[in-house]
Amino acid sequence: MSCQLASDSILYANGIYRVVYEIVGVVLPCWVAYAIAGLVFAFILVNAVLLGAAAITWGERRLLGRFQNRVGPNRWGPFGLFQPIADLVKLLTKEDLRPDGSDRVVFSLVPVLMVAPLILMTAVLPFAKNTALASLNVGVLYILAVSSITSVAIFMAGWSSNNRYAMFGAARAVAVLISYEIPVVLSLLGVVMVAASMSLGTIVEAQALPFFLVQPLAFFVFMAGMSAELNRSPFDVAEAESEIIAGYHTEYSGVRFALIQAAEFGGVGVVAAITATLFLGGWSGPWSEYLGWLWFLIKTGIIVFLFIWFRATYPRLRIDQIMAFSWKFLLPLAMVNLIAVTLEVFLLRGDDGVLTVTDLAIMGVVNLAVTVIAIAVFGNLIKERVSFRTRQPQNVVVPGVSTIEVI
Amino acid sequence: MYGLAMIKGLMVTLKNLTRKPFTIQYPEERAKQHPRFRGEEFVWYEERCTGCASCAKYCPLGIIKIETSPSGTMIPEGGKYRLEVFDIELQRCMFCGLCVEACPYDALFMGSGFEQGQYSRKNMVITIDQLRNAEKHPSTWYRPQLEGYEGEADSFRRRPTISQGDSRFSYDPRGGPPLGWREVGRESWRWHQHEKAGMRFEQDNEGTDTRGEGPDPSVRKDDEAA
């Protein structure tokens, strides 16, 4: 007995899935083969996220060290590569603490809820040509929907901890997450419009010219918004150590803390992978289409490096500055990008609705100018004029009163 | 223009990324120690010590314990005792260096070590045998005559120190060779040619006592050159 996927199945386009399905299907019933193929792929994805998180903790600490003229962890294994293992062993052997008065069920659910969306998000990521667990035709929408679960998990963590610092952190995190969701979604609209599809695979194929060249403004808004959604510096008020201990995960320890950290760093990896797919052309690269996974990894690594670079460079913003940055700066920029891209797509596309490489190049040049002008204009609009001089007291004349000094 | 400063900031960190790390990986490599570092492991030169116990008297904490008995040599001058006990209780030492300042014969020096961690307080007491047998790496704390020291132990030459800028730091207490008692004195070399209080001439290889002999020609040459 041999099983063949019907060519109209959404899993048909997935090379690895089809191969596993057909090999296993030789000896087992088709529905078992279907499940096994899915499990194999899911296993790969879960390990990719968690091992990626481990690799990113190592890479981040090494790179931050070098950014600050330090060395970073280098004692365990070559270049300190085994440091994540040592960290994990340490965390696993720690006492599992639950604060008194916490909501036990919610408190225990949080680590799972933090990691699950990341693994779910990878389901639609095309790692190579025709290689994704599910090539959904609404992939971008799916990613945006699933990634919002994180904000719920963060608020659950803050609420269930019975700790004010955790609650403050959670409130800040949710405020930041909600604010930055909007510019991110608007910037992705431009991408979807140019690719004329929400499927990530189609978006990759549409990038004859990588979209970060076609829409630099959208790339900028997406990167800034995503650093905020990941609670990373310079938007890391949610876990600002100097103010509120560790924010929403103050009360977590041991293996739960390990999972939350894995979610944080795995989030960097997954978001970098999504960014690479949407803006850097994903698996597409020169030479051979079988090297797709390599290009994908390289591009993801570049984005991860960018995130680490930002973290090493920028100091933490105040919460009002973060809000202003989102609502007064990123949101208008996203809208400008949306309008510009809409007009360009409307004017440039041919009768069959397809944008050629030339069209994309024209869009890139125009959008670069739009980017520079928009950043300059809106940047000057929100620029705070900070004066370090103390204000001179003014004499205000109030009727009936002689003079009041207002400082 | 708005945003340019952010790019400038990114460039600053990128420049730092390409630099060599500042870190010195301590157990494998060591930073060059400052010569006046007041370290543990006091350096004691028995040949210079008269057993006057000035160090014990001046110690604000009273942690130096000295027991002496009359020595067979130098009885007429009355300036010499044989030391039987010389205990320094390091666990209470605050490294003020007053014992070193008090020593009239340059017999006691601050050490240059900092790795005397012990699991028990009993082990923190430095005994006379440890002081005798330890490698002598004296610190130049209160002993500025060492700061011009450079090179081999036998070719010691006193040099002006402060005027020569960095030569003050040329003396590396930890990295350099251990110093013998002849090399660490503040007094003129000729001072050693006649038996004085605080001198314990060891027997040289021929078994003859060098006491009372004329000045060593090599030493005199050195002294005249200085």
Q: A254-297, pLDDT tens digit by residue?
A: 888 888 888 889 999 999 999 999 998 888 878 877 777 888 88
B28 CB neighbours in chain A (<8 A) are none
pLDDT at residue A387, rounded to an integer: 47
Contacts for A103 with CB less than 8 Å, ≥ 6 apart: A159, A160, A162
Alpha-carbon distances, residue A220 vs A184, A224, A317, A330, A368 (angstroms): 10, 6, 18, 9, 11
The predicted model gives B137-145 an average pLDDT of: 81
Residue A327 pLDDT > 70, yes or no? yes
Which of B4, B10, B11, B13 is the mutation pick for testing A, counting most A CBs within 10 A? B13
Which contacts of A14-23 are long-range, i.e. CB under 8 A and separated by 24 or more positions?
A: A14/A41, A14/A130, A14/A131, A14/A132, A14/A133, A14/A134, A14/A135, A15/A128, A15/A129, A15/A130, A15/A131, A16/A41, A16/A131, A17/A41, A17/A133
Please give the torsion angle defined by the CA atoms of residues A322, A325, A327 and A333, in that order, rounded to the nearest 10 degrees: -150
More confident residue, B186 or B204: B186
DSSP states of A195-214 = HT-S-HHHHHHH-SS-HHHH
Terminal-residue alpha carbon distance, chain B: 66
The predicted model gives B152-181 an average pLDDT of: 55
The predicted model gives A151-176 an average pLDDT of: 89
Residue B28 pLDDT > 80, yes or no? yes
**Lowest mean pLDDT across A143-157, A281-295, B114-128, B207-221:** B207-221
Give the C-alpha separation, A291 to A283, whole Å: 8
CB atoms within 10 A of CB A27: 10
Cβ-contact A304, A214 below 8 angstroms: no
For residue A315, the chain B residue with the least C-alpha distance is B9
More confident residue, B58 or B219: B58
If pLDDT is split at 50, 70 and 90, which confidence band does A131 have?
A: confident
Residue B220 pLDDT > 50, yes or no? no
Terminal-residue alpha carbon distance, chain A: 88
Residue A13 pLDDT > 80, yes or no? no
More confident residue, A341 or A386: A341
Cβ-contact A267, A291 below 8 angstroms: no
Name beta bridge partners: B40. B113
What is residue A150's three-state secondary structure?
Answer: helix
B22 CB neighbours in chain A (<8 A) are 69-70
Residues A339-361: b if buried by 16+ CB within 10 A, e if exposed: ebbeebbeebeeeeeebeeebbe
Least CB-CB distance to A69: which of B10, B22, B25? B22
Residue B179 pLDDT > 60, yes or no? yes
Give the C-alpha separation, B189 to B18, whole Å: 53
Six-digit token string for B179: 């110093």
Highest mean pLDDT among A9-18, A38-47, A169-178, A348-357: A169-178
For residue A381, the chain B residue with the least C-alpha distance is B2
- Tell me: cis bond preceding A234? Omega within 30 of 0 counts: yes
Q: What does residue A363 show for φ and ψ, rounded to 5 degrees?
A: -60, -40
- Cβ–Cβ of A379/B1 closer than 8 Å? yes
Residue A403 pLDDT > 60, yes or no? no
State the burial class of residue B18 (Cβ atoms within 10 Å of its Cβ: 0-12, 13-18, 19+).
exposed
Cβ-contact A139, A126 below 8 angstroms: no
**What is the 3-state secondary structure of chain B?**
CCCHHHHHHHHHHHHHHCCCCCCCCCCCCCCCCCCCCCEEEEEECCCCCCCCCHHHHHCCCCCEEEEEEECCCCCCCCCCEEEEEEEEEHHHCCCCCHHHHHCCCCCEEEECECCCCCCCHHHHEECHHHHHHCCCCCCCCCCHHHCCCCCCCCCCCCCCCHHHHHHHHCCCCCCCCCCCHHHCCCCCHHHHHCCCCCCCCCCCCCCCCCCCCCCCHHHHHHHHHC
Q: What does residue B168 show for φ and ψ, rounded to 5 degrees?
A: -60, -30
pLDDT at residue B69, rounded to an integer: 81
The predicted model gives A360-364 an average pLDDT of: 85
State the burial class of residue B101 (Cβ atoms within 10 Å of its Cβ: 0-12, 13-18, 19+).
middle
Can you tell me which residue has the tokens 């300059």? A376
CATH level 3 topology of B29-197: Alpha-Beta Plaits (3.30.70)
Residue A119 pLDDT > 50, yes or no? yes
pLDDT over 70, % of chain A: 90
B12 CB neighbours in chain A (<8 A) are 313
Chain B nearest C-alpha distance from A201 (Å): 33
Give the C-alpha separation, B226 to B213, whole Å: 23
B2 CB neighbours in chain A (<8 A) are 375-376, 379-380, 383
State the burial class of residue A108 (Cβ atoms within 10 Å of its Cβ: 0-12, 13-18, 19+).
middle
B10 CB neighbours in chain A (<8 A) are 309-310, 313
The predicted model gives B68-81 an average pLDDT of: 64
pLDDT at residue B207, rounded to an integer: 44
Residue B191 pLDDT > 80, yes or no? no
The predicted model gives A78-105 an average pLDDT of: 87
Give the C-alpha separation, A148 to A333, whole Å: 22
Average pLDDT over chain B reads 72
- Cβ–Cβ of A375/B3 closer than 8 Å? yes
Highest mean pLDDT among B56-65, B106-115, B140-149: B56-65
More confident residue, A396 or A185: A185
More confident residue, A25 or B206: A25
CB atoms within 10 A of CB B78: 10
pLDDT at residue B137, rounded to an integer: 85
Least CB-CB distance to B19: which of A69, A74, A312? A69
pLDDT at residue A407, rounded to an integer: 53
Cβ-contact B74, B89 below 8 angstroms: no
Give the C-alpha separation, B16 to B37, whole Å: 31
More confident residue, A385 or A171: A171
Chain A nearest C-alpha distance from B167 (Å): 29
Phi/psi-derived region of residue A270, left when phi > 0, alpha when psi is between -120 and 50, beta in every other case: alpha
pLDDT at residue A7, rounded to an integer: 66
**Lowest mean pLDDT across A231-235, A299-303, A311-315, B155-159:** B155-159
- Cβ–Cβ of A70/B22 closer than 8 Å? yes
So where are chain B's domains?
29-197
pLDDT over 90, % of chain A: 14
Cβ-contact A374, A217 below 8 angstroms: yes
Closest CA to B91 of B60, B126, B132: B126
What is residue A115's three-state secondary structure?
Answer: helix
Residue B155 pLDDT > 70, yes or no? no
User: What was the ipTM of the complex prediction?
Assistant: 0.72
Residues A57-93: b if buried by 16+ CB within 10 A, e if exposed: bbbbbbbbbbbeeebbbbeeeeebbbbbeebbeebee
pLDDT at residue B23, rounded to an integer: 83
pTM of the entire structure?
Answer: 0.76
Chain B nearest C-alpha distance from A304 (Å): 15
Give the C-alpha separation, A298 to A292, whole Å: 10
- Cβ–Cβ of B9/A314 closer than 8 Å? yes
If pLDDT is split at 50, 70 and 90, which confidence band does B7 have?
A: confident
The predicted model gives A23-33 an average pLDDT of: 77
If pLDDT is split at 50, 70 and 90, which confidence band does A381 have?
A: confident
- Cβ–Cβ of B19/A63 closer than 8 Å? no
So where are chain A's domains?
38-382
Residue A37 pLDDT > 90, yes or no? no
CB-facing half-sphere around the CA of A244: CA atoms within 13 A: 22
Q: What does residue B113 show for φ and ψ, rounded to 5 degrees?
A: -90, 165
Alpha-carbon distances, residue A114 vs A256, A261, B48 (angstroms): 10, 9, 72
**What amino acid is encoded at A78 in this protein?**
P
